[in-house]
Amino acid sequence: MTISLDKIGRRFNREWIFRGVEYTFQQGGSYAVLGPNGSGKSTLLQILNGSLTPSEGTITYTLGGQLLEAEHVFKHLSLAAPYLEVIEEFSLAEMIDFHFKFKNYHPGLNRSAVIDLLGMQSSKHKLIKYFSSGMKQRLKLALAFCADTPLLMLDEPTSNLDTQGIDWYLSLVQQYAQGRLTIICSNQEHEYSFCKEQLRITDYK
C-alpha cells in the first residue's frame, strides 16, 4: 500500500488545522506523524484512513500497483486509537472472533494465539467492560497487529500502558510490523523510535 498526498488541507469552520501537505507514504515504510497535543495528528490519520475527507487537495491510494478507492481502504488497514472503542458487552473471546470476521489473521495466528499473546487466558470469558484501561489498550493493539493487513495505523499506541506494557508493544512491533506500511501518531519517542521517517504536522500550519 502506498498513500500519496497532494496539497492536502483540512479545516474546521474557518480555521485551518493544516494546509499544503505534500507527502508519500511508501509501501513497507515506517512513519511517525509528530506534533503536540491538538496539532492535528489524529485528524491527518483519519484523512489517511479514509474516515475524513480533506478540505482541499487530493489523496491517492495504490495497492499492488492498482489504484484503490478511498471508500475501500478500510478493508486493508488495521487501526488502534484512543477514540476507537471495543464492544464492552462482549467477552474477550467474543471480541476477537467478531474482529476476525472482518479481517484475516496474520499467518500462523488464531484466537487462542492472540489470547496467549495478550497473556489473558484466565480472562477469555470475562466481559470487556470489566477490563482495566490498560487491558483494553492491549486488546486494541493486539487486534491491530494480529490482522493480516498491508496498512497498520496507531494513534498514541502506549496510552494507558505501564512500563511492562510498553515493552510488550515494542515486541509486537518487532514481530508484526515488518513489511507493512506503518503510520504512528505520537509525541512520545518510545512509541515511534523505530520509524524510519517523520512528518511534523507543525510544518504545515
Which CATH number covers residue 60? 3.40.50.300
Which pLDDT score is estimated for 148? 97
Confidence of residue 201 (pLDDT cuts 50, 70, 90): very high
Mean pLDDT of 178-199: 96
d(CA 171, CA 173): 5
- Residue percentage of the chain with pLDDT more than 90: 95
d(CA 99, CA 144): 10
d(CA 83, CA 10): 19
Confidence of residue 182 (pLDDT cuts 50, 70, 90): very high
Average pLDDT across the chain, whole number: 96
d(CA 80, CA 144): 6
Task: Print burial letters for 145-174: b (CB count within 10 Å at least 16), e (below 16).
Answer: bbbebbbbbbbbbbbebeeebeebbbebbe
Confidence of residue 15 (pLDDT cuts 50, 70, 90): very high
Which pLDDT score is estimated for 42? 95
Range of the structural domain that residue 77 is part of = 2-204
Mean pLDDT of 97-120: 97
Which pLDDT score is estimated for 51? 92
Q: Are 50 and 3 in contact (CB under 8 A)?
A: no
23's grid cell: 507527502
pTM, two decimal places: 0.95
Task: Print burial letters for 183-193: b (CB count within 10 Å at least 16), e (below 16).
Answer: bbbbeeeebbe
Confidence of residue 190 (pLDDT cuts 50, 70, 90): very high
Which pLDDT score is estimated for 118? 97
pLDDT, tens digit (0-9, with 9 covering 90-100), for 115-153: 999 999 999 999 999 999 999 999 999 999 999 999 999
Confidence of residue 77 (pLDDT cuts 50, 70, 90): very high
pLDDT, tens digit (0-9, with 9 covering 90-100), for 42-64: 999 999 999 999 999 999 999 99
Confidence of residue 35 (pLDDT cuts 50, 70, 90): very high
Confidence of residue 200 (pLDDT cuts 50, 70, 90): very high
φ and ψ of 15, to 5 deg = -95, 125
The continuous run of DSSP H or E covering 182 comes out as strand 181-186
Query: How many folded domains does the chain comprise?
Result: 1
